[in-house]
């Protein structure tokens, strides 16, 4: 699969397990290739590839809200939501942010850097009856 052609995560709904495994391999290769040039949080993102794919396959982002408690684990999320083509600009002036950024995508529903804000944000969103809300609490 050409990661640069991804526009949103809806394509995942039609993929079988074998295709999802292949996608995971491609995403990891992409991350290693791009981050070896731009820098960035490689380890935390290599650790959440399958988790992120599963979240986007199961849920309907941006209608279902996915909040990253550790924002620097959102690179796979950025790829699956159509931003792979911007990875050459990662963490550069006016480039792709290293954390979820609401101005970048409707799929980024909460801006976070490090941790400990997603639970309270998810509770607030759920109380406001926005939609289904998922807080990703996974730290490497």
Could you tell me which residues come within 8 angstroms of residue 104 by beta carbon, excluding any fewer than 6 positions away? 78, 83, 96, 97
Residue 68 lies in a domain: yes
CB of 57 within 8 A of CB of 16? no
Domain that includes residue 27, residue range: 9-136
The total of structural domains in the chain comes to: 1
Residue 110 lies in a domain: yes
CB of 23 within 8 A of CB of 53? yes
Residue 3 lies in a domain: no
**pLDDT tens, residue by residue, 3-48:** 999 999 999 999 999 999 999 999 999 999 999 999 999 999 999 9
Residue 4 lies in a domain: no
CATH number of the domain where residue 45 is located = 3.40.50.970
- pTM for the full predicted model: 0.89
Residue 96 lies in a domain: yes
**pLDDT tens, residue by residue, 52-109:** 999 999 999 999 889 988 888 999 999 999 999 999 999 899 999 999 999 999 999 9
Give the Å distances, CA to CA, from 133 to 7, 15, 59, 74.
22, 23, 10, 16
Residue 2 lies in a domain: no
Q: Is 27 helix (H, G, I), strand (E, B) or coil?
A: helix
Residue 128 lies in a domain: yes
């Amino acid at each position: 699969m050409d990661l640069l052609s991804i526009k949103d995560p809806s394509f995942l709904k039609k993929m079988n397990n074998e295709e999802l495994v292949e996608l995971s391999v491609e995403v990891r290769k992409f991350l290693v290739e791009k981050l070896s040039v731009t820098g960035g949080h490689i380890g935390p993102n290599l650790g959440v590839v399958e988790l992120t794919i599963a979240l986007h396959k199961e849920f309907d982002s941006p209608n279902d809200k996915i909040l990253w408690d550790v924002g620097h684990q959102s690179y796979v999320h950025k790829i699956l939501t159509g931003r792979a083509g911007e990875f050459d600009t990662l963490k550069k002036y006016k480039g792709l942010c290293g954390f979820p950024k609401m101005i970048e995508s409707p799929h980024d529903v909460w801006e976070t850097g490090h941790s400990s804000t997603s639970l309270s944000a998810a509770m607030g969103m759920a109380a406001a009856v926005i939609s289904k809300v998922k807080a990703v609490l996974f730290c490497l």
